[in-house]
Every structure is written in structure tokens, then in C-alpha cells.
Amino acid sequence: MRSVRRTAALAVVGGIAAATSLLPALPALAHGAPTTPISRTAACASGGDRTDSAPCRAARDANGGPIGRFDNLRVANVGGRDAQVIPDGKLCSGGLPDFRGLDQPRGDWPATTVTAGGTLKIAYAGTIPHQGSFRLYLTGRGYDPAAKLTWADLGKPLAEIKDPPLREGAYRMSLKLPQDRSGRHILYTVWETSSTPDTYYSCSDLVIKAAATARPPSAAPVAKPAAKATRSPEPEAVAPPAEPPATTSAAAAPADPAPSLRPAAAAADDHVQLGHQILIGATVVILGVTAAAGLLRLRRARTTKD
């Protein structure tokens, strides 16, 4: 009996050791950021995939040191009061000193080329599921990329999407873009989680191109009316199907950059969200108990035979 107990104890220890060794394979204690269209965090923050680019180096200089982790731009206890809590000019950093370099107005942030009036497919990397709502804002027609982003630039959200599907490491959403924007714009994404106290903020830079239905340019200069023509009817005929092919928009975006942005080991992560810890704790306990029970059964079977 003593040896059985010892075996059981060893098995528990072994099970826990085995479970612990699996931990690095589990997602790090991380959160999220848009990877399509690429956000300033996913590009330039630590763990980002364009950190060597000129705008990212400039952002680090402006930050006065390393930028925080790309998936960790979150503010606790905002509770939907985004415009009261996040100051104008600091929207891209969420007002967090660790990310202040991302607030710089620049014309060369890594951007995604999209089509006016098209459907933008969004991938928001999220390694551990949180429940919540995404509010998607787009800068208005008067937006000036040379000025810092303010709430007035954004107006009302274009869409609010609750608990979108999480597939292959990213939340998947679609957004119909307005016809009347062109050039540099910002998609501002607010993820207000309901399973944690945190709200996540991010700026994704877009270059909006006119739809391809435009007339081909003619060599001879044509007299243009001084004022814009009257509102043209929306070409609803080209409305995309529910799951539009990736080519309709975000053409310049890589098919799915989400998996390339695996957060590094949780070393510097100060995240203390109960949900994450319960998940990992439960995994350890379950693996440990399963291993112990299995070995105990084996041991018993052997003792009975003897």
C-alpha cells in the first residue's frame, strides 16, 4: 500500500511536470490587436512584425524607449466611456505612456490598401478568447493625417460587432467601407471585453483607393465642373456575398498575418486576469489528476496479478 501511495504521489508530480512542460505551447497570457488591417501595435510595438521599418524606429524614438507589447494596449475599467477616458491626440496609445510613440502623426505608418465602398475583412489576433464587443470607427472625410487623431475625427462607429468568431487565432469581422473616403485614413478599433475589465484600443492605417469602376483616364483634358457632381447612386449591384473573396478589399494585406504574430513567452506579462489563470490552472490539475489516476490503476492491476 505504501508503494502504491508513493506511486500515486510520483504520478501527480510527474503529471504536473508534464503539464508545466506543455505550458509554453499554450498561448501566452496575451490579449489582442488587429493584424489585418495591420495596426500600429501589430507593426511597431514589441512583438510586432515590422519593427525594423523607418516609421517603427521613429515611433520607438518618440516613445522614449521600447514600446509595450503589441497585444497589450488595454485600459481597465473604461466601461464604454472611451471618449471621456482616452484623451484627444492619444487615441492610438490609449493614453498609455508605454505606447505614446504610436500617437505620432506620420504619413508613412505601415498601411493596408483598401477600396472605397468595398468590404474590409478584419483579423484581430486574440490568443485567449475574451467575450466582448468590437466598435469599428473610420476617420471622416476631413481627417488630416498630419494631425494627431481626435474623437471628433471619428464620429460614430461604423459598426459594432459582438463576439465575432475566433478562427485560427484571430477574431474575424467584415466592415463595409464608405464610398466617400480616399487617401490615408485610420480604422480605430475598440474592443470592450465583457469577461475582463479591459478595453483595447488600436489604430490601423489605411490607404483608401477609389473603386475600379472609375472611368479610364483620357489623354485629352476634359473640362470638369467646378463643384462635385450630384450624389451618384451607390453601386449596390456589386454588393459582395456574405463571405466575399479576399481580393475584393485589403488587396495589399497578406492573406492572414495573424499566426506570424505569436506573442513571446509570458515573461514580462503582468496580466492577472482570473480567466487566463483558471484556464491554465485547470489544465495543470486535469493533466496531473489524469496521469495519477492512470498510473494508480496500472499499479493496482499489477499488484492484483502478483
Q: SS3 for 277? A: helix
Confirm or reject binding of residue 181 to Cu ion (CB under 5 A): no
CA distances in angstroms from 239 to 22, 118, 159, 259, listed in the order given? 46, 8, 17, 30
Distance in angstroms (rounded) separating the CA atoms of residues 207 and 108: 10
Which residues in 34-73 contact Cu ion (CB under 5 A)? none
Region of 23-31, 52-60, 222-230, 258-266 interacting with Cu ion (CB under 5 A): 23-31
Distance in angstroms (rounded) separating the CA atoms of residues 126 and 74: 13
Region of 26-34, 91-99, 225-233, 238-246 interacting with Cu ion (CB under 5 A): 26-34
Confirm or reject binding of residue 31 to Cu ion (CB under 5 A): yes
Q: SS3 for 49? A: coil
- The answer to whether the beta carbons of residues 52 and 147 sit under 8 Å apart is no
Site pattern 221..260 for Cu ion (x: CB under 5 A):
----------------------------------------
User: Which residue's CB is nearer to Cu ion, number 119 or number 199?
Assistant: 199
Rounded to the nearest whole angstrom, what is the least distance from the CB of residue 31 to Cu ion in the complex?
Answer: 3
Beta carbons within 8 Å of 265's beta carbon, 6+ residues apart = 24, 28
Distance in angstroms (rounded) separating the CA atoms of residues 113 and 300: 65
Rounded to the nearest whole angstrom, what is the least distance from the CB of residue 111 to Cu ion in the complex?
Answer: 26
Site pattern 69..108 for Cu ion (x: CB under 5 A):
----------------------------------------
Rounded to the nearest whole angstrom, what is the least distance from the CB of residue 200 to Cu ion in the complex?
Answer: 8
How many residues bind Cu ion (CB under 5 A)? The answer is 1
Enumerate the β-bridge partners of residue 204.
39, 187
Distance in angstroms (rounded) separating the CA atoms of residues 290 and 101: 48
The residue among 194, 189, 162 whose CA lies nearest residue 79 is: 194
User: Which residue's CB is nearer to Cu ion, number 36 or number 193?
Assistant: 193
Confirm or reject binding of residue 121 to Cu ion (CB under 5 A): no
User: Which residue's CB is nearer to Cu ion, number 31 or number 185?
Assistant: 31
Q: Phi, psi (5° rounding) for residue 178?
A: -70, 160
Q: Which residue is nearest to Cu ion (CB)?
A: 31
Task: Provide the binding-site residues for Cu ion, judged by CB under 5 A.
Answer: 31
